[in-house]
């Protein structure tokens, strides 16, 4: 469902969130390669899986944008860490916490205020996933600081909302209700 044309704030926030999620997607893939080189195979897997969750968020936001084929300049915050995996993980934690504490609560409230149901759902999905991402990246960093890889078997991502869980997918996604079989395994 397209946005009402007058709701420029929600529309702007959707563009910005699309930009931020798109960059996060690529950045996590870059950091996955760097983690792999440092011998952190599982941390690399975590980055790769969460990169997919950010892609899900970007796609969700994109579909809610009331857009046409004209240019649109997007301003979106980003982290540019190119150092060690421990430092990159700090960048990841900072980015996720910014989304959890500032960005998505503000965007979500704007969408609610403007009665934009689709944007509200898209921001809600992202907010719930970013909380988990911040926590998982913190666990990864705790291990990496001791020179150890993170302990995990696999990572599962809900392709509808980006919900992220270690080792086994739930019967039903707690955020969007998607079935277990739909989760993508990394
Ligand atoms: Fe995200
Ligand atoms: Fe995230
Ligand atoms: Fe979900």
Which ligand does the CA of 134 lie closest to?
2
Find the 164 Cα to ligand 3 centroid distance in Å: 9
Find the 146 Cα to ligand 1 centroid distance in Å: 27
Tokens 């970013």 belong to: 130
Model confidence at 70: pLDDT above 60: yes
Q: Which long-range contacts (CB under 8 A, 24 or more apart) does 182-185 make?
A: 182/158, 183/156, 183/157, 183/158, 183/159, 184/52, 184/156, 184/157, 184/159, 185/154, 185/155, 185/156
CA 136/CA 113 separation, integer angstroms: 32
Which two structure tokens, joined as six digits, stand for 131? 């909380």
Find the 98 Cα to ligand 2 centroid distance in Å: 10
What pLDDT does 21 receive? 98
pLDDT digits (tens, 9 = 90+) for 85-102: 999 999 999 999 999 999
CA 123/CA 98 separation, integer angstroms: 14
Residues with CB under 5 A from ligand 2 (ion): 96, 130, 133
Find the 113 Cα to ligand 2 centroid distance in Å: 24
Per-domain residue ranges of the chain: 8-66+78-149
Which ligand does the CA of 17 lie closest to?
1
What pLDDT does 23 receive? 97
pLDDT digits (tens, 9 = 90+) for 18-60: 999 999 999 999 999 999 999 999 999 999 999 999 999 999 9
What pLDDT does 3 receive? 64
What pLDDT does 2 receive? 61
Question: First CA to last CA across the chain, in angstroms?
Answer: 32
Under CATH, what is the fold of the domain 8-66+78-149? Ferritin (1.20.1260)
pTM here is 0.96
CA 92/CA 138 separation, integer angstroms: 9
Which ligand does the CA of 163 lie closest to?
3
CA 51/CA 64 separation, integer angstroms: 20
Task: Name the band, by pLDDT with cuts 50, 70 and 90, for residue 81.
Answer: confident
What pLDDT does 66 receive? 84
pLDDT digits (tens, 9 = 90+) for 102-137: 999 999 999 999 999 999 999 999 999 999 999 999
Q: Which long-range contacts (CB under 8 A, 24 or more apart) does 26-29 make?
A: 26/51, 27/78, 27/79, 27/80, 28/54, 28/92
């Amino acid at each position: 469902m397209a946005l009402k044309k007058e709701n420029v704030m929600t529309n702007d926030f959707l563009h910005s969130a699309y930009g931020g999620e798109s960059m996060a997607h690529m950045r996590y893939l870059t950091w996955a390669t760097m983690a792999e080189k440092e011998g952190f195979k599982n941390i690399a897997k975590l980055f790769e899986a969460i990169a997919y969750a950010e892609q899900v968020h970007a796609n969700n936001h994109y579909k809610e944008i009331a857009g046409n084929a004209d240019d649109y300049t997007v301003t979106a915050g980003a982290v540019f860490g190119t150092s060690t995996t421990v430092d990159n993980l700090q960048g990841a934690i900072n980015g996720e916490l910014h989304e959890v504490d500032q960005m998505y609560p503000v965007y979500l409230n704007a969408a609610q205020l403007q009665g934009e149901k689709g944007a509200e759902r898209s921001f809600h999905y992202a907010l719930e996933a970013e909380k988990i991402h911040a926590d998982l990246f913190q666990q990864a960093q705790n291990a990496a600081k001791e020179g150890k890889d993170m302990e995990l078997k696999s990572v599962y991502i809900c392709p509808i909302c980006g919900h992220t869980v270690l080792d086994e997918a739930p019967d039903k996604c707690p955020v969007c209700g998607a079935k277990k079989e739909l989760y993508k395994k990394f």
